[in-house]
């Protein structure tokens, strides 16, 4: 068995954040979910449906308030699906490469 080369460019942190995933490419599929881990360049989360060829995505995260920030903040990322994997429970794991972000304000 060959060792797989690590392809991540930034460290990932285990973080369960509320998320809204929107998959594009022709038809649109949307689902509320939670992240499993996040980094400055990517996120991993599960969805219940097959997303097929929907490779472009928008992922809106609710970032918790911290310090002087009085409320949770919504941030929308755009990017692409980097990898899909099936969980033992039948859910679809999505590794997303995030390319840009937009602050949407308080949640």
Q: Encode pLDDT of 60-90 as tens digits.
A: 998 887 777 677 889 999 999 998 998 899 8
Instruction: Report DSSP letters for 16-71, one per residue.
Output: --EEEEEE-SSS-EEEEEEEEEE-SSEEEEEESS--TT--EEEEEEEEPP-TT--S
CA distance 15 to 38: 6
> What is the separation of C-alpha 43 from the centre of its chain, rounded to a whole number of angstroms?
4
pTM here? 0.82
- Examine residue 1 and state whether it is found in any structural domain, yes or no: no
| Parent domain of 23 | 13-106
- Examine residue 8 and state whether it is found in any structural domain, yes or no: no
Given a contact cutoff of 8 angstroms between Cβ atoms, the answer to whether 42 and 57 are in contact is no
Number of domains in the chain: 1
CATH code of residue 80: 2.30.110.10
Query: pLDDT per residue over 3-46, tens digit each?
Result: 545 555 677 888 899 999 999 877 788 999 999 999 988 999 99
């Amino acid at each position: 068995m060959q060792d797989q080369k690590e392809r991540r460019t930034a460290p990932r942190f285990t973080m369960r954040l509320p998320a809204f995933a929107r998959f594009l490419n022709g038809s649109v599929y949307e689902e509320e979910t939670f992240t499993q881990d996040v980094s400055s360049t990517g996120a991993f989360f599960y969805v219940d449906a097959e997303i097929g060829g929907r490779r472009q995505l928008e992922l809106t995260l609710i970032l918790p308030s911290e310090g002087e920030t009085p409320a949770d903040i919504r941030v929308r990322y755009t990017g692409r699906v980097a990898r899909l994997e099936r969980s033992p429970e039948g859910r679809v794991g999505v590794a997303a490469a995030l390319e840009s972000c937009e602050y949407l304000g308080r949640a």
